[in-house]
Amino acid sequence: MIGKIEIFNCFFLRCLHNDLQRDAAMSSIPKGIAYRCCCVSVGGDLALNFIWNTEPKKKKGKGKTLQSTQSNKSNTMKVLTEGHKYQLSGFENAENTQEIQFIEKTPIEGTTELKTVNDGTTNEELLEVLIDRMNYLQGKFPCRENAIVITKLQESLMWLEKRTADRKKRNVEGKQLA
């Protein structure tokens, strides 16, 4: 695990418009710590989740190793090529590794076009794999948490597909343009 992740849940009835409730919840977050906040509906109530990392961020770089967040396993994920290639260790046998290669493109000199230097998968395809796996697990071991994970994965896929559609509409997909 890179850092200790803490989650603080606050349940509010009906709405989060009460600034005093929100400020009271936020006061439990350590000063100077960046946090992420999300709001979800839970049985008609709203839950405000504050998530923060209490450890400093590690320097990014090639070859970094990240420990698993599962305390009972010593799995690691190694970055082979930042943003493109990763080595994953087996869940029960860390020596059993596999690699995930994302498509890697570089600019063609003098143009805004990109060329593929390493073929691989996409974020969207990996999310589809995770959605399929979570649906399988939900069929065998149904629970609220699995349902939430499936929803969030589907939402992530939707936003990536929207980004691609927007880029295509602006005629910048596959180009080194924002």
Nearest-angstrom CA–CA distance, 76 and 63: 12
Q: Is 7 or 137 the better-scoring residue by pLDDT? A: 137
pLDDT in tens, 52-79: 444 444 445 566 666 555 544 556 889 9
Q: What is the pLDDT of residue 131?
A: 97
Using the predicted structure, report yes or no on whether residue 171 has a pLDDT greater than 90.
yes
Would you give the DSSP letter of residue 171?
T
Using the predicted structure, report yes or no on whether residue 11 has a pLDDT greater than 80.
no
Contacts of 3 (CB under 8 A, 6+ apart): 53, 54, 55, 56, 57
Q: Is 44 or 139 the better-scoring residue by pLDDT? A: 139
Nearest-angstrom CA–CA distance, 165 and 178: 13
pLDDT tier at 117 (50, 70, 90 boundaries)? very high
Would you give the DSSP letter of residue 44?
T
pTM: 0.61
Q: What is the pLDDT of residue 75?
A: 63
pLDDT tier at 102 (50, 70, 90 boundaries)? very high
pLDDT in tens, 118-164: 999 999 999 999 999 999 999 999 999 999 999 999 999 999 999 99
Using the predicted structure, report yes or no on whether residue 27 has a pLDDT greater than 80.
no
**Which of 127, 133, 128, 106 is closest to 117 using CA atoms?**
106
Q: Is 107 or 8 the better-scoring residue by pLDDT? A: 107
Exposure on the CB side of residue 73, measured as CA atoms within 13 A: 15
| Burial of residue 101 (number of CB atoms within 10 Å: 0-12, 13-18, 19+) | middle
Q: What is the pLDDT of residue 113?
A: 92
| Burial of residue 47 (number of CB atoms within 10 Å: 0-12, 13-18, 19+) | middle
Using the predicted structure, report yes or no on whether residue 23 has a pLDDT greater than 80.
no
